[in-house]
């Protein structure tokens, strides 16, 4: 009886979790039970995070990996918002960016914190012990002794290496300010536009620089995390007699703005636009080059914009001011919102479109909510769906099974490709002008592809290749743009880089990939840029349509350059041949003169040996009417004539495929003028009376 009871108890212990079984076996099952259940209940509570909290914990997704990258991303987001704001009202962008370095003592004063001297030095990470200090000083003494010996022997003397003491160093703070002349923001919308993550005006199917409603909100989150200071906004819309001023931060856990001050101020200058100021932790030293490269590339792709960039510091030698001047007033068209292509939709999107549509029946829904579905095409599609569907059936009454059938048909049916009317590329003119303005190359070629499609989304590839230029390294210098945004990071895996490096045979176009200064510019615009990775810094090489379009555009540019390079080489050969001939003219003239003088000095023969013209020439030699200089002039004139005839013969043989033309770019006018524009497919001429 007892043994059977023990066996039952043993079986029961085996069925329990190990911790409970041990407790019960030890006679403590009743005491441990309530605690274990409470702990399990607490760990199983359902929790949720706000979008702001999620991005604060995963800030690398938005490009805030470290202080240096955070400074770069903050500046970038503010500049792109400013460009979008100005372009949305067709205003030539005029943008001022200022990054001001703030010392630790100045930052402490701003937040009301009193500076405190260190008391316990050994407590700090950069503390150097006495032993480490002696070791460092001994090493420096040995180095100085070695350099003194080298100097005495006349050898090269090296500079002393910089002393690096272990430690993370003090944090650096920066005030980033961006001012534009764009649309501005409605007074009541400012808190939500800048203090609520995933809220914005760029949602919808259109080409935009941003998509997710992060941008300045992420800069505000980083400011709250690194400095705790709020963001300040000034804004005024066209025609407003007041300027909206708002100081706010964000409640991370609730994803709502926390407004400190929101008021209207007098607009005495009739200014319109926005000015955003944020104070963050950053690192100018590590990302200085990236920030300046970004501004330079932005000036290339938007030559119609004017940028004034300033870096301010207490150290005067670190101050920097760069102005990227406007070079054209031709702006790309404002991108239009388009409808979804049937082949690019999924079940969730179809359900959402049905919820939001104002159309009553299925025929109207297909015809008006998607591109490239005409009335006759919609009727054919509905007929193909089966007997459960009809033209007049209520679209709101569609069942889940019927929606799946529509989705399957959309994936299998054939539709015309969408056109590129909804896209806003920079344009060949602007791309070429931007390259010339910033790089000053010896030659440049550009090409824009016709609209193409991937996964139902239209895209256009614009490419430019330059040879030579200012501040351009030897080899390939690749500049990548997506929806007119420069891409600076993760270049190696990008489709543009891989195509330029691996798929273009530069030597076949008379271009030396290693020695020539080659600038490769590729801009891709689309309603959906297929970025890889969370940072949106590169486009993958796995989409055949985009890869082929990039390769084709670059090849077209190479063909243009090859024609120019060949003509340049032929002209150089003619110049070399002409130079070589001219080099020998004095020797040839002297030899001819000496020969003729010898003939003229001979006694006259009994029988005439020369024609009448030869006799006259010899008489002129004797009378010095013809001299060595005469022969030099004749030979020089002959070389010029032959060079001209060869060039003319080459032109006649090669023919002219089109009328000769050369692009001429003039600086934009300052001030206001009365003018009349004369436009043609080849040129635009501005007449100023």
In the chain, which segments carry CATH 3.30.230.10? 428-560
Output the pLDDT for position 72: 92
Instruction: For residue 212, say whether it is annotated as part of any ligand binding site.
Output: yes
How far apart are alpha carbons 313 and 319 in whole angstroms?
6
481: nearest Cα among 665, 215, 302, 290: 302
| pLDDT for position 7 | 40
User: Could you confirm whether domain 428-560 is CATH 3.60.15.10?
Assistant: no
Q: What is the pLDDT of residues 232-279, one digit of tens each?
A: 999 999 889 999 999 999 888 888 889 999 999 999 899 999 999 999
Look at residue 637 in the predicted model and tell me its pLDDT: 81
Please give the DSSP secondary-structure letter assigned to residue 395: G
346 is in an annotated binding site: no
Please check if 213 is assigned to a binding site: yes
Find, among 290, 184, 282, the residue nearest to 238 by Cα: 184
Q: What pLDDT digit, counting tens, does each position of 486-538 carry? A: 998 888 889 999 999 999 999 999 898 888 999 999 999 988 888 887 667 88
3-state SS assignment for residue 460? strand
328 is annotated as contributing to ligand binding: no
Q: What are the residue ranges of CATH 3.30.565.10 in the chain?
A: 52-109+170-324
- Separation of alpha carbons 464 and 447, rounded Å: 6
Is residue 533 marked as binding? Answer: no
The answer to whether the annotation marks 359 as part of a ligand binding site is no
- Checking if the pLDDT of 316 tops 90, the result is no
Helix (H, G, I), strand (E, B) or coil at 149: helix
* pLDDT at 201 > cutoff 70: no
Q: 551 labelled as ligand-binding?
A: no
Q: What pLDDT is attached to residue 490?
A: 85
pLDDT digits (tens, 9 = 90+) for 469-478: 888 889 999 9
Flag whether pLDDT at 147 surpasses 50.
yes
Paired with 236 in beta bridges are 273
User: In which residue are the tokens 């095409």 written?
Assistant: 377
Indicate the Cα dihedral angle 556, 506, 299, 297, nearest 10°: 130
Q: How confident is the model at residue 10 (pLDDT cuts 50, 70, 90)?
A: very low
CB 328 within 8 A of CB 431: no
CATH of 342-412, one of 3.40.50.1820, 3.30.1950.10, 1.10.8.50, 3.40.50.740: 1.10.8.50
Contact 228, 288 (CB under 8 A): no
Q: Is 22 annotated as a binding residue?
A: no
Binding site annotation covers 66? Answer: no
Q: Which of 413, 425, 399 is nearest to 370 (CA)?
A: 413
First to last CA, the chain: 121
Tell me if 632 is assigned to a ligand binding site: no
Let me know: does 301 contact 90? Beta carbons within 8 Å: no
Burial of residue 188 (CB within 10 Å: 0-12, 13-18, 19+) is exposed
Across 32-48, average pLDDT: 60
Rounded distance between C-alpha atoms, residue 373 and residue 571, angstroms: 56
Position 479 confidence tier, pLDDT thresholds 50, 70, 90: very high
pLDDT tens column, 268-301: 899 999 999 999 999 998 899 999 999 999 999 9
Residue recorded with tokens 């022997």:
153
> What value does the mean pLDDT take over residues 327-346?
83
CATH topology for the 52-109+170-324 domain: Heat Shock Protein 90 (3.30.565)
Q: What is the dihedral of CA 360, 364, 368, 370, to 10 degrees?
A: 100
Between residues 619 and 173, the one the model is more confident about: 173
Flag whether 214 is marked binding. yes
Q: Which of 534, 435, 513 is nearest to 481 (CA)?
A: 435
Check the annotation: does 210 bind a ligand: yes
**CB neighbours of residue 351 within 10 Å:** 14
Higher pLDDT, 573 or 567: 567
Q: pLDDT tens across 407-466, in order?
A: 989 888 888 888 777 888 888 888 998 999 888 998 899 999 988 888 888 899 999 999
Domain with CATH 1.10.8.50 in the chain: 342-412
Residue 532 burial (10 A CB sphere; 0-12, 13-18, 19+): middle
On whether 202 is known to bind a ligand per the annotation, the reply is: yes
Tokens of residue 519, six digits: 């600038």
pLDDT per position as a tens digit, 52-65 = 888 888 888 778 88
């Amino acid at each position: 009886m007892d043994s059977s009871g023990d066996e039952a108890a043993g079986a029961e212990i085996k069925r329990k979790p190990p911790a409970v079984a041990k407790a019960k076996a030890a006679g403590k099952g009743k005491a441990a039970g309530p605690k274990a259940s409470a702990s399990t209940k607490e760990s199983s509570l359902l929790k949720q995070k706000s979008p702001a909290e999620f991005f604060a914990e995963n800030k690398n997704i938005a490009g805030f990996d470290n202080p240096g990258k955070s400074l770069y991303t903050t500046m970038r987001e503010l500049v792109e918002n400013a460009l979008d704001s100005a372009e949305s009202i067709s205003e030539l962008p005029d943008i001022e960016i200022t990054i001001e370095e703030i010392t630790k003592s100045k930052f402490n004063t701003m937040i009301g914190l009193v500076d405190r001297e260190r008391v316990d030095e050994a407590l700090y990470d950069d503390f150097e012990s006495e032993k480490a200090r002696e070791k460092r000083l001994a090493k420096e003494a040995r180095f100085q002794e070695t350099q003194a010996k080298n100097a005495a022997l006349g050898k090269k003397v090296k500079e002393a290496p910089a002393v690096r003491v272990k430690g993370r160093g003090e944090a650096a703070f920066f005030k980033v300010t961006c001012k534009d002349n764009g649309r501005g923001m409605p007074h009541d919308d400012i808190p939500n536009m800048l203090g609520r993550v995933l809220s914005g005006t760029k949602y919808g199917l259109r080409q935009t620089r941003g998509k997710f409603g992060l941008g300045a909100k992420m800069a505000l989150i980083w400011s709250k995390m690194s400095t705790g200071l709020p963001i300040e906004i000034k804004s005024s819309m066209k025609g407003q007699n007041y300027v909206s001023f708002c100081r706010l931060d964000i409640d991370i856990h609730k994803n709502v703005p926390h407004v400190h001050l929101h008021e209207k101020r007098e607009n005495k200058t009739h200014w319109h636009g926005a000015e955003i100021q944020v104070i963050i932790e950053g690192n100018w030293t590590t990302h200085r080059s990236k920030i300046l490269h970004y501004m330079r590339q932005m000036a290339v792709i938007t030559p119609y914009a004017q940028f004034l960039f300033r870096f301010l510091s207490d150290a005067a030698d670190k101050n920097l001011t760069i102005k990227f001047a406007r070079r054209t007033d031709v702006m790309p068209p404002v991108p239009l919102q388009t409808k979804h292509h049937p082949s690019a939709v999924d079940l969730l999107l179809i359900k959402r479109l049905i919820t939001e549509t104002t159309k009553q029946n299925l025929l109207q829904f297909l015809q008006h909510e998607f591109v490239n579905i005409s009335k006759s095409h919609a009727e054919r599609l509905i007929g193909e769906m089966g007997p459960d569907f009809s033209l007049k059936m209520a679209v709101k009454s569609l069942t889940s099974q019927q929606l799946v059938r529509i989705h399957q048909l959309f994936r299998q049916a054939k539709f015309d490709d969408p056109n590129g009317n909804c896209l806003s590329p920079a344009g060949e003119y602007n791309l070429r002008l931007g390259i010339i303005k910033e790089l000053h190359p010896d030659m440049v070629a550009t090409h824009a592809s016709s609209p193409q499609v991937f996964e139902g989304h239209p895209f256009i590839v614009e490419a430019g290749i330059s040879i030579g230029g200012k501040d351009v390294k030897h080899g390939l210098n690749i500049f990548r743009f997506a929806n007119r945004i420069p891409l600076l990071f993760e270049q190696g895996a990008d489709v543009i880089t891989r195509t330029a490096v691996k798929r273009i045979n530069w030597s076949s176009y008379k271009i030396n990939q290693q020695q020539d200064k080659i600038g490769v510019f590729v801009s891709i615009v689309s309603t959906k840029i297929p970025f890889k990775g969370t940072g949106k810094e590169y486009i993958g090489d796995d989409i055949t349509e985009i890869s082929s379009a990039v390769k084709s555009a670059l090849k077209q540019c190479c063909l243009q350059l090859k024609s120019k390079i060949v003509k340049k080489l032929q002209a150089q050969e003619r110049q070399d041949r002409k130079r070589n001939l001219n080099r020998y003219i004095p020797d040839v003239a002297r030899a001819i003169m000496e020969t003729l003088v010898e003939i003229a000095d001979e006694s006259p023969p009994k029988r005439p040996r020369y024609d009448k013209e030869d006799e006259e020439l010899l008489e002129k030699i004797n009378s010095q009417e013809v001299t060595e200089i005469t022969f030099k002039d004749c030979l020089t004139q002959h070389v010029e004539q032959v060079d001209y005839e060869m060039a003319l013969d080459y032109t006649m043989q090669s023919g002219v495929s089109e009328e000769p033309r050369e692009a001429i770019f003039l600086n934009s006018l300052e001030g206001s003028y009365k003018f009349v524009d004369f436009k043609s497919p080849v040129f635009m001429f501005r007449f100023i009376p």
